[in-house]
Chains A and B, each alone.
Chain A
Amino acid sequence: MKKMIDAVKKYPFILILVLILVAFTPYSLFSPGQSRKRAVVIAIGLDKIEDEYEISFLTFIPSPNQEFQQANSVVSGKGSSVSEAVLDAQLTLGKDIGLSHAKTTVVNEKMLEEDVSSSLDYLMRVVSLPENTVFVCTNTTAKQLLMATNSLEKNLGIKLDQLVSYNANEVYISDTSLEAFYKGYYSPTKSSLIGYIEHIKDSTQSEQAAPQNQSSSQGSGDSQKSSQTSSSQDGQQGGAGSSEQNSSAGSSGQSENEKQRGSLQGQSQILNKGDAVLLRDGQKVALLDVDNLNSINLLSTKRSLDSITITDVETEDGKNVDMTFLVKNKVVSVKTDFQNNIPLFVANINLGVQLSEIDTKAQKVKQNVQNTQITEEIAQKLEQKIKAEFAKVLQILRENKADVLGVYDHFFAENRKEFLSFLSSLDHPEDFLSHVVFMLNLKVEQDG
């Protein structure tokens, strides 16, 4: 004992260590697990219905199982502000929410009718929504999309964030995260692009759908889930795919409030056509399709999933066919200049294309068309088509005063002084895109 007292005297910090152990061991032993106190949110949906906000959380429910399947459920809350809606959802859930693992943020189109950043402010600042979440818009409600996603993931293993990330890499050629949205929002042009996922609800079946199948209890026993089989179908426009599947039940609890929210059942489809929403000042100004996005990506050095179809190409034996080419290679160099105080945006683009398909229109073509070289006529038609598509999207961007082409950045970096004086000479500097002359020097070649 004396030895121990001497040791403590010699090293008084042992005493502090023991005190810490004594103070915290019972606390650690008796405090409930984090999963009992905090819900792990993996996706968030934000809707505005009339003047009320509805926030939906796709939450992960940790449970022991041998199937390596993740049990998720959608819980929602309503309120006159986002913070009130979050509190309501937390009440429903009986847990605090943890957004660190949230990978997708969905908003409905109504949210984008006004500056969406003001609605996201609370989530970003107070409840620490990570900015690397994929940010998407949907046509119906975010809640319905999350429910459909839940089932999609359960049955097909396709996650919404993966779906949009694929779009981001192959179609948009730019990040579509919340961070990317804010980068555009706070940039001088105030423009950004976010993903668009269409949700189609089959009204005939959904109206009749009854609460489904199995239910399981998790944790505090207030979570109920149901699912049905799912199927997928191909052949969507532009090569995009869709998945037909059943939506899973939303949150369910014992309260009346919960019952009112109900659980949406029935057939629903998630339709990913690779579309994107063009935003300015956080508001939706246009919906861009894959062709528009391909034209925007024309100026990007990255290659996108681009195919170009030209019609009525005359073959050597005099037959008219339609030809589809895939862009396999792209070299882009962009230069900005001022001539007589007129800003010039010059893009030199070399495209390496490969013939991928010929529509012979039921005619017999007596030659090996697969080896067809790109003739002058084909190259000309391709150039005309590309330029026409680019003109279309440029018109949309000019009309909406939205620069997602990076024109402002190029001029600012290369001709800053002249560009700033040019902007100051304009009555409406935000409309600068209308005054910029675009020159596309296209060179289309056979790839390889």
Chain B
Amino acid sequence: MKSISARQSGIIVFLTILANKILVLPSAMYEKSKTDSIFALIAIFAFELLVLACFFALKKAYPEQNLKEILSKKMGCVAAKVIIFAFLIFFLFKTMLTYAVLYVYLKDLVYQDEFGFLALVCLFPVVNHAVVCGLRAMGRTFELFYYIVLVGVLFCLCIAFFTNISMPNFFVASPLEIFHSGFRHIFAFGDYLVLFLFIDKIKLKKGEEKKIFLFALVGIILVLAIFIIFYAKYQVTAFMHNNALADLLVFSVQFNAIGRLDIIAMLTIMTLGLFQLEIFQAAFCESFVQIFDKLSVKYGVIVFDILFLVIYLVLIKKYEIMLSFATDYLVYFAILTNIVLPVLIYVLSRRHKKETYDEKND
């Protein structure tokens, strides 16, 4: 089996942590809980780090098995497939949301007009090809581009310091508003769950968990930095800016004189978006293969493309509908996948540990 290293897994976690959080989320959360959205963000990230620890516990308990095999042992094949099906749906809609956010960003800044067909023709063959090539090829590509993406994001953040920024006022929203803000946007989180689906493909030596934690921390710190600097820069008008990372650059009046630096944000966001789409589609295909174990990834890719075209282009159609669908309905589904399933998986790993311990003692 083609496996990926701890470093590559860490980079996947890093890329997924940035997914759907650096463009529209800061302004969407600001609308509900102003700058205190940061607290909702910190709470969710703290929980995500705990879930990451659960993943390592599970990996330690079942070093070679995939998620379906682990779940089948404890819950039976049907229940395992139902859970994996939930992941399949989760990542299908994740891909749609990521695509929608990326599409609107490019439409606003580059194309101005609708270019749906062009975007699909340009993006999906590349994404499909990456998924068919496999996780190892993807991992290596991510490794190659990791520092480029990191420098791109850091550059955008640094430029913002050359403009008028002032410390935003915190503690302006009630705890209920903060909770509501986090709850409504919970679907934008939990992207690192891809690790559970690739659990058997990750080669983890003793002590290498720290590496993955480190990448996760870098991702979390960057997202928090983007939120804080974005709020510090725009303050009361934060709700008007839908492309947070790019807007840190675009509206730097001082830099108009030396040309448009937003090309850097554009390249960074496009690269990130492409990689995130690849990861989510790979997670979909992995779920597909685990449910239909007789079929290969290629079938997964074809099914994904058909479902995407039918659901997104025919039923959802518009970015706004996708966004309201994610905040109104997919929220409840995300509670299941982001909170219930990781907790369930953790319980299973604990039980397994206990059983192993009992067996040893017997």
Chain A residues in the interface with B (C-beta under 8 A): 13, 16-17, 20, 23-24, 38, 96, 98, 100, 103, 124, 128, 130-132, 165, 175, 177, 179, 182-183, 186-187, 409, 412-413
Interface flags for B40-58 (1: CB within 8 Å of A; 0: not) read 0000000000000000000
CB distance from B256 to the nearest CB of A (A): 7
**Closest chain B residue to A184 by CB distance?**
B236
Question: In the bound complex, do residue A132 and residue B125 qualify as a contact, i.e. CB atoms below 8 Å apart?
Answer: no
Question: In the bound complex, do residue B253 and residue A183 qualify as a contact, i.e. CB atoms below 8 Å apart?
Answer: no
Question: In the bound complex, do residue B251 and residue A17 qualify as a contact, i.e. CB atoms below 8 Å apart?
Answer: no
CB neighbours (8 Å) of B296 from chain A are: none
- State which of A20, A103, A409 has its C-beta within 8 Å of the C-beta of B125: A20
CB distance from A21 to the nearest CB of B (A): 11
CB neighbours (8 Å) of B128 from chain A are: 13
Interface flags for B147-188 (1: CB within 8 Å of A; 0: not) read 000000000000000001000010000000000000000000
Q: How many A-B residue pairs have CB under 8 A?
A: 51
Beyond A182-B237, A183-B237, whether A132 also contacts B169 by CB under 8 A is no
Chain B residues in the interface with A (C-beta under 8 A): 108-109, 112, 121-122, 125, 128-129, 132, 164, 169, 234-237, 240, 250-253, 256
CB neighbours (8 Å) of A20 from chain B are: 121-122, 125
Report the separation of the CA atoms of residues A131 and B125 in the bound assembly, to the nearest whole angstrom.
36
Question: In the bound complex, do residue A132 and residue B112 qualify as a contact, i.e. CB atoms below 8 Å apart?
Answer: no
Question: In the bound complex, do residue B251 and residue A182 qualify as a contact, i.e. CB atoms below 8 Å apart?
Answer: no
Report the separation of the CA atoms of residues A11 and B24 in the bound assembly, to the nearest whole angstrom.
37
- State which of A16, A24, A100, A177 has its C-beta within 8 Å of the C-beta of B253: A177
| 15 A–B contacts, CB within 8 A, in A order | A13-B125, A20-B122, A20-B125, A24-B121, A128-B108, A128-B112, A130-B250, A131-B240, A132-B251, A132-B256, A175-B253, A183-B236, A187-B235, A409-B169, A413-B169
CB neighbours (8 Å) of B129 from chain A are: 13
Report the separation of the CA atoms of residues A13 and B112 in the bound assembly, to the nearest whole angstrom.
30
- State which of A17, A24, A183 has its C-beta within 8 Å of the C-beta of B235: A183
**Closest chain B residue to A161 by CB distance?**
B256
CB neighbours (8 Å) of A179 from chain B are: 234, 237, 251
CB distance from B158 to the nearest CB of A (A): 18
**Closest chain A residue to B171 by CB distance?**
A416
CB neighbours (8 Å) of A124 from chain B are: 240
**Closest chain A residue to B125 by CB distance?**
A16
- State which of B125, B164, B235, B240 has its C-beta within 8 Å of the C-beta of A175: B164
**Closest chain A residue to B237 by CB distance?**
A182
**Closest chain A residue to B107 by CB distance?**
A128
Highest count of chain B CB atoms <10 Å: which of A96, A103, A186, A413: A186
Report the separation of the CA atoms of residues A409 and B252 in the bound assembly, to the nearest whole angstrom.
23
Report the separation of the CA atoms of residues A20 and B124 in the bound assembly, to the nearest whole angstrom.
12
Report the separation of the CA atoms of residues A132 and B128 in the bound assembly, to the nearest whole angstrom.
39
CB neighbours (8 Å) of B240 from chain A are: 124, 131, 182
- State which of A16, A38, A96, A132 has its C-beta within 8 Å of the C-beta of B252: A132
**Closest chain B residue to A20 by CB distance?**
B121
CB neighbours (8 Å) of B251 from chain A are: 130-132, 177, 179
**Closest chain B residue to A16 by CB distance?**
B125
CB neighbours (8 Å) of B121 from chain A are: 20, 23-24
Report the 10 A-B pairs with minimum CB-CB distance, sorted nearest first.
A186-B236, A132-B251, A16-B125, A182-B237, A13-B129, A132-B253, A187-B236, A183-B237, A131-B251, A186-B237
